[in-house]
Amino acid sequence: MPIKKQRANKNNAPVPVGTERVKVLLSQAKIQKRIREMAKLIRKDFPHEPLLLVGVLKGAVLFLADLARQITGEVTFDFIAVSSYGKDSRSSGQVKLNKDLDSSIEGKTVIVVEDILDTGLTLRYLLRILQQRKPKNLRVAVLLDKVERRLTDVHADYVGFPIPNEFVVGYGLDYAERYRNLADVKILSLPGGSH
């Protein structure tokens, strides 16, 4: 999903494997510490509620797994997948649903779990369709918040880290499906200095 949100290079041309460079932005230890803090905040807001975490595929999988293990009490999860589309490789602002939830969220306390919030267009679309399904509560947890990229008035209730406008990979975030398995969040630099 992040590859659709973050522009890879000026021409969106494929970059030969091994020619890009990465540097650590957020270490694994720092990420895990912040996730523990976020889990406590969520449970403080909903001390006795069963929680349904809705992970946005594919980028949020690792974040959701770690967050779910840190939240005490009853927690279940489901997944949804969306994509931006248009003639251009950058987000057109139009979003389509690729995979829907497996069960109803009506009357449930739902936390949408997203890897990165940048333009806000995808999240705005998701919140609109989920709100129509009448959850009891609907909140958003994001690991990374790229505020300067925002194009719409949408925000997360729980934010891991505000980050600069850099192309990031690791901990679920990808470049052409690579790097998702890295334990740290890293800044990706492509040849020629573009990102």
> What is the model's pLDDT at position 116?
96
What pLDDT digit, counting tens, does each position of 119-156 carry? 999 999 999 999 999 999 999 999 999 999 999 999 99
Structure token digits, residue 117: 């919030």
From CA 34, how far away is CA 36, in angstroms rounded?
A: 5
> What is the model's pLDDT at position 65?
98
Q: Alpha helices of 99-151 — where are they, by DSSP H? A: 121-131
Question: Annotated catalytic residue: which of 118, 157, 174, 184?
Answer: 118
What pLDDT digit, counting tens, does each position of 9-40 carry? 444 444 445 667 889 999 999 999 999 999 99
Domain ranges of the chain: 27-164
pLDDT class of 193 with cuts at 50, 70, 90: low
Percent of the chain residues past pLDDT 90, beyond the cut: 75
From CA 132, how far away is CA 6, in angstroms rounded?
A: 28
Establish whether 118 is a catalytic residue. Answer: yes
From CA 195, how far away is CA 191, in angstroms rounded?
A: 9
Under 8 Å between Cβ of 26 and 184: yes
What is the reported pTM? 0.85
> What is the model's pLDDT at position 17?
52
Under 8 Å between Cβ of 125 and 105: no
What pLDDT digit, counting tens, does each position of 77-126 carry? 999 999 875 444 355 567 889 999 999 999 999 999 999 999 999 999 99
- What is the CATH code of the structural domain delimited by 27-164? 3.40.50.2020
From CA 137, how far away is CA 189, in angstroms rounded?
A: 39
